[in-house]
Chains A and B, each alone.
Chain A
Amino acid sequence: MAAGVEQYTGPWTYQEAAHLLRRAMFGVRQTDVAKILEGSMEQAVDLLLDTPSPISPPTPVYTDDLVSLVMGDPWDPAKWTLDNDTPHLNYVRLWWIDQMLSQPMSIVEKMVLFWSNHFATGGFTVLQAFYMFRQHMLLREHALGNFRQFAKEITLDPAMLVFLNGNQNTKTGPNENYARELQELFTIGKGQEVAPGDYTTYTETDVLAAARVLTGWRDDGSDLTNIRTTFDDSLHDTTDKQFSARFQNTVITGRSGEAGARIELDDLITMIFAQQETARYLCRKLYRWFVNTVITPEIETTVIAPLAQTFSNGNYEIKPVLAQLFKSAHFFDLSVRGALIKNPVDLMIGTFRSFKVQSIFTATLEEELFPPQDPAIRARALRPVYNDLSIQQYDLLDPPSVAGLPAYYQPPQFDKIWINADTIQKRVRFVEDLSVAHYRYDEDYGYAIIEVFEYIGRVSDPGDAVTVVREWLQWIFPMPLSQQQHEKALANFLGSITETEWRKRWNDYASDSKNVLFRLNIETKLQPFLRYLLGISRYQLM
């Protein structure tokens, strides 16, 4: 019997702390592990849930297809145009990547990404960067807030009104698009179709009725510094809306005026959130995002159901559910360690954050951390990260569809969808570039590479090859490894040299770390070993 949501009482060591950080943040930093190991597991979870993620204003960024912005310009909406503004969307994307790379010890960035997948909105359809940015700020505002309130606000969000045609929904021509997705994907979820048009949790009747409730809302983007939601009374259906038996035959009284329409929206959300299935649906999505994509009947009973109870009892506050999940025996159970394939953001941002990544500029040989501090160069460094994320099939601000990423909903493959013959090569190329080749971020400016001297310096006894291998394996992989796997890795690390020879090389380097030859003797062992570890299949798991 796998563990349920009862509080975890087992060991609290490196492995558990790293597991928590890997799932709640991107990648694992040794300093973060050390910090949370100073306190208890509960304190660590509380810290992650209570720490905000400060929002730095979007930094001026460089995009090579920039129209109305140039590098170094301030973040000034007045300069943005309504016409084809893909460059501006890219501006927001790079800023967002920067936020994730510089995340504090907090779950907020991981939750923002979760919500961007949950309320998946296609930037390519909305085609208005400021709409998308406004929506993004809404995701941040509610990231750990109240789901019911969030659902209400996203319904009237201007980008959402555009994306799912809410702004074309009228009493004479109801547009069902948003009303359908609100139920199918955003709140209660679609159950099995037991009769034509009856999806167990709601019916086609409810789609149409909800569409009529939501008639009349419009987006107004005439002032980009103040994008608003407006209401046109003449387009609103003021008649009563009859829902099906799936919603206890609820009738939502038709009302007029903006205040009336808001009451109708409240009634609609209240009706949907009165169903326990709504709590379960979101808990399943959180579980697939943070723990494991395969929900067995046993997990449904011992994990999802009690989490959902906490959710609905707590008036759909998000924090208590996450606290219960992350403090649970189930979350730390060995059966779920390493049980997720990293999505491209976890792979890329996680790898950047897990190591000290050095920027090297061909022109000046100036060295600093990745991404560089100079705003202009910083923007150049972020652009290829966005490109690589998208070719690995994670396109920020442009999900594959309103259902979000198939890895989190498409059975039976789920997260296996991330990996195929094409994407695996892109993933391997990324780690190869960052470990032994050079991750080029700009043809003229430079590249990034993992600083292996810093990483070996953290090992408790760097001169002992067995210790190096043991500690690196523990740091890099999400689950304990077998004796066989340790031996294989050690053989790979040593190659043609002996443990004694490694000890000698290390001592030489330690005695004179500036000596070019001594450095080279170390580097030529460490870089290929790191490349080997990051390239094997296990590194794709988290």
Chain B
Amino acid sequence: MRRRDFLKAALPAAVLPVALGGYSLRALARNPIIDALMPQADCSDRTLVLIQLFGGNDGLNTVIPLDQYDRLQPARPEIIVPEKDIIKLTDTVGLHSALTGFRDLYNKEQLAIIQSVGYPVPNLSHFRSTDIWTTASDYNQYVSTGWMGRFLELEYPNYPFGYPNDAMPDPLAIQIGSILSPTLDGTLASMGMAFTNLNRYFNVDTDDTTLASTRAGELEGFVRSIGEQVNKFGVKVQNTANSTTIKSSLWPPHRSNPLADQLKIAAMLICGGLKSRVYLVTLGGFDTHYSQNSKGNSGQPFTHPQLLELLQDAIAAFLDELERQDKHRDVLGMTFSEFGRRIKSNSSEGTDHGAAGPQFVFGHPVQGGIIGANPIIADKIEIEDNLPMAYDFRSMYATVLKDWFCADDARLNSVLFKDFPTLPFIRGGGSSVSPSATMRNLQVTAVPNPFISGSLIRVQIPAGVLRVSVFNAIGAEVLVLHDAYHGAGIYEATIDGNGLASGSYYVRVQSGNQVTTTGLIRK
């Protein structure tokens, strides 16, 4: 019996009689310990597939802002997709010419594009930025557990001890590969298991002698626990994969598309009935510092356009397989990448590490569409300039946890450490007002603009949590003007020009899940 099922039965009699030691239950519910004991809505048949695009995907050559093209073109003349080749999704948003498959998904409303996802102060190191994304920490906060690890740990307390059991007969999370992502790290152990080859399985000898109380004893205990996991779950995972017949004809030939090879294993396990909640797969090679569009010269196994093709081909085959095996309603997919790349191309026909970029959510449960406005490209772009974020990446996580995995606010809060507005990309999710409704953009005015001593910001807002902040040209949040509840009406504030060096800035206004960004110039 799953711990929380037990609690569901036990709670009303034991706890509900009003209060514990004078604290109301509501106050207690905000406490993570109590939160872990509270019943949650059951969405345990749902699966999430995370695709990590390692290296930092060039978002501006993936989702292209057509209304900014005239300013984008001179900033990256050697690498930009020719205007005539761009696939137009709307009058203002286009896709890279390689992404015909994404266009089809978009037309079938199985693809949501979230524009300019990032975090307030970008870090240009692959490693640190990957840490931030996988742990869902603030830019200057160091956390040793992964966001999905924390969630799964709350859902399945004590895992992997006492598992498999009736509530979870399978590994909680599966990474297809030989390395486990920090995304799945829990407090004591990873919530994930890694698999590559499911054809040959080895029973790992474990032994139960007493462990020394040294680091060696700790490490030995750790190795044993992994061996026990393999012994417990290995045969079943292998048998599940081997007993599943592939039905889609869209799968690329083995070894021609590394992502498809991984997603195929995931599909076999999902279609074979494994109850694992999360699958994690990766596609590397996005660190395109030079010759990103030309063959064989970028120092990466694939060019950027080829990578985009691998991505869409793998996803198309995966979704087709799920549909043929009637699993499509239960699976949601999401991409992430540690950062986007610079607006301006470098002198090597490539792009350097940047900040915000678009991400994709795919599958049948998705409410298709484009969330967010195009990024703004300034008239004059310096080499170090970046896109500021429109959506915090943790808003994507919050949405998945709330609208897909049915986590309540208290649990969301203990996983993500604070509140993040959710986004409308899951059909039937609590946040799913239609994108067009949320796109009735907040209208921000800034007067004067350009400015020297000060500029008056004015915006009409609905009631809710309002965050108004200023980002500089390299994509970092430098001023927070407001971050609290604000009643419906007009919000006004003056940006003091004295504290700001001359250059381009962006004012970002976030009210609930509506976001708008306006360019501003300090002379």
Q: Does B216 contact A (CB under 8 A)?
A: yes
C-alpha gap A409/B204 in the complex (Å): 27
Q: Is the CB of B226 within 8 A of A419?
A: yes
C-alpha gap A162/B171 in the complex (Å): 42
C-alpha gap A168/B297 in the complex (Å): 14
Chain B: residues with Cβ within 8 Å of the partner, total of: 60
C-alpha gap A99/B227 in the complex (Å): 32
C-alpha gap A393/B178 in the complex (Å): 7
Chain B positions within 8 Å of A411 at CB level = 144
Chain B positions within 8 Å of A175 at CB level = 289, 346-348, 352
Q: Is the CB of B215 within 8 A of A292?
A: yes
Chain B positions within 8 Å of A339 at CB level = 214-216, 219
Q: Is the CB of B216 within 8 A of A337?
A: yes
Residues of chain A in range 256-284 having any CB-CB distance to chain B below 8 Å: none
Task: Find the residue from B177, B205, B209, B216 having the highest chain A CB count within 10 A.
Answer: B216
C-alpha gap A412/B142 in the complex (Å): 11
Chain A positions within 8 Å of B178 at CB level = 391-393, 420, 422-423, 426
Q: Is the CB of B227 within 8 A of A537?
A: yes
C-alpha gap A535/B229 in the complex (Å): 16
C-alpha gap A39/B300 in the complex (Å): 52
Give the shortest distance, in Å, between A327 (CB) and chain B (any CB).
21
For B196, give its contact among A180, A422, A424 (CB under 8 Å): A422
Residue of A nearest to B190 (CB): A420
Give the shortest distance, in Å, between B439 (CB) and chain A (any CB).
31
Chain B positions within 8 Å of A190 at CB level = 125, 128
A336 and B224 contact, Cβ closer than 8 Å, known pairs A173-B383, A422-B196: no
Q: Is the CB of B348 within 8 A of A428?
A: no
Chain A positions within 8 Å of B142 at CB level = 192
Residue of A nearest to B195 (CB): A422
Q: Does A35 contact B (CB under 8 A)?
A: no
Q: Is the CB of B216 within 8 A of A478?
A: yes
Residue of A nearest to B237 (CB): A421
Give the shortest distance, in Å, between B287 (CB) and chain A (any CB).
9
Q: Is the CB of A165 within 8 A of B209?
A: no
Q: Is the CB of B289 within 8 A of A540?
A: no
Q: Does A172 contact B (CB under 8 A)?
A: yes
Residues of chain B in range 276-332 having any CB-CB distance to chain A below 8 Å: 289-290, 296, 299-301
Q: Is the CB of A416 within 8 A of B209?
A: no
B431-450 vs A: 1/0 string, CB under 8 Å?
Answer: 00000000000000000000
Give the shortest distance, in Å, between A39 (CB) and chain B (any CB).
27
Q: Is the CB of A165 within 8 A of B201?
A: no
Residues of chain A in range 401-446 having any CB-CB distance to chain B below 8 Å: 401, 403, 406, 409-413, 415-417, 419-426, 428-429, 432
Give the shortest distance, in Å, between B141 (CB) and chain A (any CB).
10
For A338, give its contact among B201, B216, B222 (CB under 8 Å): B216
Task: Find the residue from B185, B200, B214 having the highest chain A CB count within 10 A.
Answer: B214
Give the shortest distance, in Å, between B185 (CB) and chain A (any CB).
7
Give the shortest distance, in Å, between B302 (CB) and chain A (any CB).
12
Q: Does B194 contact A (CB under 8 A)?
A: yes
Give the shortest distance, in Å, between B149 (CB) and chain A (any CB).
11
Q: Is the CB of B299 within 8 A of A420?
A: no
Q: Is the CB of A416 within 8 A of B222?
A: yes
Q: Does A79 contact B (CB under 8 A)?
A: no
Q: Does A153 contact B (CB under 8 A)?
A: no
> Among A42-50, A357-365, A481-489, which stretch is in contact with chain B?
A481-489
Chain B positions within 8 Å of A165 at CB level = 289-290, 348
Residues of chain A in range 151-184 having any CB-CB distance to chain B below 8 Å: 162, 165, 168, 170, 172-173, 175-177, 180, 184
Q: Is the CB of A537 within 8 A of B206?
A: yes
Q: Is the CB of B209 within 8 A of A196?
A: no
Residue of B nearest to A401 (CB): B126
For B194, give its contact among A180, A422, A485 (CB under 8 Å): A422
Q: Does B179 contact A (CB under 8 A)?
A: yes
C-alpha gap A422/B214 in the complex (Å): 26
C-alpha gap A485/B300 in the complex (Å): 49
Q: Is the CB of A485 within 8 A of B222?
A: no
Residue of A nearest to B120 (CB): A196
Chain B positions within 8 Å of A34 at CB level = none
Q: Does B476 contact A (CB under 8 A)?
A: yes
Residue of A nearest to B213 (CB): A335
Chain B positions within 8 Å of A403 at CB level = 126-127
Q: Does B121 contact A (CB under 8 A)?
A: yes
Q: Is the CB of A420 within 8 A of B194?
A: yes
Q: Does A334 contact B (CB under 8 A)?
A: yes
Q: Is the CB of B207 within 8 A of A479?
A: no
Q: Is the CB of B209 within 8 A of A488?
A: yes
Q: Is the CB of B301 within 8 A of A421?
A: no
Q: Is the CB of B352 within 8 A of A176?
A: yes
Q: Is the CB of A413 within 8 A of B185?
A: yes
Give the shortest distance, in Å, between B437 (CB) and chain A (any CB).
35
Residue of A nearest to B216 (CB): A338
Residue of B nearest to A170 (CB): B347
Residue of B nearest to A165 (CB): B289
C-alpha gap A424/B216 in the complex (Å): 17
Give the shortest distance, in Å, between A108 (CB) and chain B (any CB).
27
Residue of A nearest to B140 (CB): A193
Q: Is the CB of B346 within 8 A of A168?
A: yes
Residues of chain B in range 451-490 having any CB-CB distance to chain A below 8 Å: 476, 478
For A172, give its contact among B185, B194, B347, B478 (CB under 8 Å): B347
A537 and B223 contact, Cβ closer than 8 Å, known pairs A193-B123, A482-B209: yes
Give the shortest distance, in Å, between B456 (CB) and chain A (any CB).
26
Q: Does B500 contact A (CB under 8 A)?
A: no
Q: Does B210 contact A (CB under 8 A)?
A: yes
C-alpha gap A344/B342 in the complex (Å): 37
C-alpha gap A176/B383 in the complex (Å): 11
Q: Does A125 contact B (CB under 8 A)?
A: yes
Give the shortest distance, in Å, between A389 (CB) and chain B (any CB).
12
Q: Is the CB of A420 within 8 A of B202?
A: no
Give the shortest distance, in Å, between A434 (CB) and chain B (any CB).
14
Q: Is the CB of A420 within 8 A of B207?
A: no
Residues of chain B in range 27-59 having any CB-CB distance to chain A below 8 Å: none
Residues of chain A in range 72-125 having any CB-CB distance to chain B below 8 Å: 84, 122, 124-125
Q: Does A516 contact B (CB under 8 A)?
A: no
Chain B positions within 8 Å of A425 at CB level = 200-202, 204, 230, 234
C-alpha gap A27/B233 in the complex (Å): 32
Q: Is the CB of B214 within 8 A of A335?
A: yes
Give the shortest distance, in Å, between B38 (CB) and chain A (any CB).
28
Chain B positions within 8 Å of A412 at CB level = 144
Q: Does B10 contact A (CB under 8 A)?
A: no
Residue of B nearest to A429 (CB): B202
Chain A positions within 8 Å of B496 at CB level = none
Q: Is the CB of B180 within 8 A of A420?
A: yes
A204-236 vs B: 1/0 string, CB under 8 Å?
Answer: 000000000000000000000000000000000
B330-357 vs A: 1/0 string, CB under 8 Å?
Answer: 0000000000000000111000100000
Q: Is the CB of B347 within 8 A of A424?
A: no
Give the shortest distance, in Å, between A515 (CB) and chain B (any CB).
32
Give the shortest distance, in Å, between B341 (CB) and chain A (any CB).
13
A184 and B125 contact, Cβ closer than 8 Å, known pairs A168-B347, A428-B205: yes
C-alpha gap A412/B290 in the complex (Å): 34
For B219, give its contact among A84, A341, A410, A484 (CB under 8 Å): A341
14 A-B pairs in the complex with CB atoms less than 8 angstroms apart? A84-B296, A162-B299, A196-B476, A335-B215, A337-B214, A339-B219, A401-B126, A401-B127, A428-B204, A428-B205, A478-B216, A540-B220, A540-B223, A541-B223
Task: Sort A-B residue pairs by CB-CB distance and give the 8 closest, nearest first.
Answer: A338-B216, A173-B347, A537-B223, A339-B215, A125-B299, A422-B194, A421-B193, A420-B194
Question: Assuming A122-B299, A420-B193, what are 10 further A-B pairs, CB within 8 angstroms?
Answer: A124-B299, A339-B214, A340-B219, A391-B178, A391-B196, A420-B190, A428-B204, A540-B220, A541-B219, A541-B223
